[in-house]
Structure 1
Amino acid sequence: MIQKQEDKFGALYEGTDSTSDLDNVSLQTSSSRSDGESPALPLKQPVTIGSTDSRDIRSLMDLHAEDDFHNRRLSDQHVSEIFLRETNSLYSNTKSSKISFFVEDLQALCDRDEAQETAPSKHSSSGILIKTCSFGGVEIREYPIIPGDSPAGFKGPPLTIDWAPISTVRFPNVDKYESVRSRHRRTIKELSIPASQRMTILTNQGYTQSEIQKSTKDATRARRQRRITMSTLKYQVIMEKIESIQRKTVNVLTFGQHNKDQKEYLKKYLPSHGVIPTPMVA
């Protein structure tokens, strides 16, 4: 039975249930075209999958680059995690949202012949030196997805990213990257992730139901507090006047002692610099 799954770059894995038929893997672009089959992806990275079992993937990916790139090899565990994540994300995609698999961008950027373009001449035809300003390379870091605490959204657990990146990709020309990437940007509607899809993403990342429920409960509490604040904003001026009357009433009833206690309490938190010392009488 032929199975097609996407890798981290949006390419399709074509294989069968047997490991012997997976020695050679062909990569095709994931974008469908009306004029026939998608063309083969001419990337420099050969990918080999040794088994369809997601927990026992033996895959090596070599990143060949020029002198200013780092030759690196992804570990079996890392490739297995990428395969699991992107395999599960295929089933969590909806019509309203879309995951950014920019294969065509990567195809143009990973091509060493295109990436190492000849720098423009800094001399005009008359031999006058022309001063130019340009940016260098671009570094793309991939961070793991973890449960967040943002109250944005209507329901479900919020998502955020961890501090430590799990992978880094460098491209030598930021202008080339932007010229290609800008044609495949997602819309605001496609960037939104439904609550069910967020649940699926966290489950696929290995988080337990209790951890997801705790994140959902904290976010729900913050959303409730935000709604209360929004509903009482129109009474802000009245509430400020009520608080002022309460402070003055307490100060009158305590003959100013409450106000003095507050000032004494705040003195120890005032900065020592800039304070004129009280002269001592001999």
Structure 2
Amino acid sequence: MMENTTESPIMENTTESPKMTYKTQVSHGESMTENCSSDSSLSSKESIVDSQGGTEVLLVPKAVNVLSSKPLRSRSILSARTHEESIRENPSYIEGARSRRLERRKSSLAADLVEGSPNQESLSVSFSRVDIRLFTIDIGDNPSVSSGPPLTISWDHFDEHHVDIDEFESHHPADRNRLALLVPYKERWRRLVESGLTDDEIFEATKKVNTDRYDRAVTIDNLEGSKMEEKVELVKRWVRGVTNKKQKRKEKNMIKEILEKDRMERAKRLAMDVYQ
């Protein structure tokens, strides 16, 4: 049986396809136009072959947005790091605070004026009279006097006078200076005698004041050597500490020797009891 095999020629349509263009999105946000020919590689394209005409149609993919390879920067939620920075960046806040402060000050001043208007005399101070009290003079104990007994006043007054303030100011003498306030040695002695003190009492009080004055002078002179005295005291304490340590060490060794002798004696007594 013979088989009729005829070869039908296959017509191949080799028309050159026109060039096509498409846009590709690059990483920096710029668009670039590329020319693409049908003769390029088909690895990134899809091809469809027409079964009737034998025509090959190339499907060019659409432009694809390519993500940038640049790492994204994370933004902090804090708009300002410190309170002072936020105030500097917001001048309206400062102006508002100043205006509010001025309003509060105005309101407080207005309230003070309203409160003080009905009773304005309560804000003033006045004096009507001067009370003068007389005290007896007594011998003091202040060693600041140059020589002789110091003066002081007693606790209780023996007389009192009330003088109008205007009259007192009209007859008030001029203020005295420091030299006028000084009382000489003989004048102080005379006033003490007039107060009823005897010469022996004044002399004994004067001697005690002189002793206190001398002690004060010695203390002032020794202020410069106080640091040296502190160092000497520290050395004394250290020497006492070392001596006490040696004494304690000797006592401890003596106690150990006594305990050791007692232990040896008990051991001997036990050994003699065993032999017996």
TM normalised by structure 2 equals 0.41
The structure in which a higher percent of residues are helix is 2
- TM-score norm. by structure 1 comes to 0.40
Structure whose residues are more often strand by fraction? 2
Greater relative CO (CA pairs within 8 A, separation 6+): 1
